[in-house]
Structure 1
Amino acid sequence: MSELARNQCEACSPDAPKATEEEKRTLGAEVPDWDIVEIDGEEQLKRTFKLKNFVQAQAFTNKVGDLAEEVDHHPVIVLEYGKVTVHWWSHEIHGLHKNDFVLAARTDEAFSNLQV
């Protein structure tokens, strides 16, 4: 498990600080396949994962859902044939928090553990 993925998620409240530009650079370097995108004025981490078919994509979607449920932090997950797109961001603060980078790292590990 990567060092970032081992980090504990912190409880996030509406007054929690957003990730600073330096934190986004540092943490983002640990999840290089993720893009920071802005949607409706909120920064989000986004990555699309390619899989062989719908069954694999659905199984991966379920793994991401399990990761989210473990920490009560829920992404947008778009399931398509052979493709899953995941968006992590902190709804409470309308942007990025360290938790989002931790969960991106855990999502990467879940993907690397799949037999694709």
Structure 2
Amino acid sequence: MASALAEKNCTPCRGGVPPLTPVEAEGYRTQAPDWTLMDDATRIERRFRFKDFGEAFAFVARAAELADAEGHHPDITFGWGYAAVSLRTKKIKGLHENDFIMAAKLDRLADDPVAETARQGG
């Protein structure tokens, strides 16, 4: 099911809409099972593992390109062999469908970086 989310695009969020409730967020999270609900279901987070620093850095660079294309920018930290990604919609101070769309796209990017780059026109 995560692939269905990955086929969607993030839509601009201008604020004024309520964030997902914890129950709604859990429903979306079942479509992105590697992500963890954090901070009373106001953000999601995942730690990706890589074989070394270069792979982690390459993922972060591709994730940045994807985020710019989607207009949805996660918080990312990385180091030797890992990248941690945190998503939430800042304008509504919580989670939106966009966060789960981006999560699904990042999952696909980590699983098949060449295919995702090609889909984004890179």
TM-score (norm: length of structure 2) = 0.85
Aligned equivalent of 1:97 = 96
Query: Does 1:112 pair with 2:118?
Result: no
The C-alpha deviation readout for 1:60-105, integer Å capped at 9, x for no partner, is 0011111110122111100110000000110111110000000000
Aligned equivalent of 1:33 = 34
Q: Which moved further from structure 2: 12-21 or 71-80?
A: 12-21
3-state SS of paired residue (1:2): helix
Say how many residue pairs are matched.
113
Computed over aligned residues only, the root mean square deviation of the Cα atoms, in angstroms, reads 1.8
* Structure with a larger share of its residues in strand: 1
Aligned equivalent of 2:17 = 16
Moved beyond 6 Å, runs of 4+ = none
Stretches of structure 2 that go unaligned for 5 or more consecutive residues are: 115-122
Identity %: 32
3-state SS of paired residue (1:62): helix
Aligned equivalent of 2:76 = 77
3-state SS of paired residue (1:92): helix
* Structure with a larger share of its residues in helix: 2
Change (3 A) 1:93 1:78: same
TM-score (norm: length of structure 1) = 0.89
